Amino acid sequence: MATKDSNVDVTKVSPNQEYIIARHSRMVGRVLDLVEAALPEGSQCDKFKKLVQVPLYDFRNEMLYLEDKGLPTS
């Protein structure tokens, strides 16, 4: 798992990382559309959408780290 001191250098984005980011963005959009379709509008829906995004972006960051640095040692 990537830690804060081992972040990927965002100034050097590889084609593979661009692909990961683009696919992840489309996936997040689809997930949020499904959440909106399943829940009535309101503050609970908005809060749920924000909560759902946290593990999705954590996973994306792990995949970017994996693509940049390889498998973590621990």
Given pLDDT bands bounded at 50, 70 and 90, which one contains residue 51? Answer: very high
* pLDDT tens figures, 4-20: 445 656 678 889 999 99
- Reply yes or no on whether the pLDDT at 56 is more than 70: yes
- Block residue for tokens 């830690």: 3
Q: How far apart are CA 28 and CA 54, in angstroms?
A: 11
Q: With beta carbons less than 8 A apart as the criterion, state whether 39 and 45 touch.
A: yes
Given pLDDT bands bounded at 50, 70 and 90, which one contains residue 45? Answer: very high
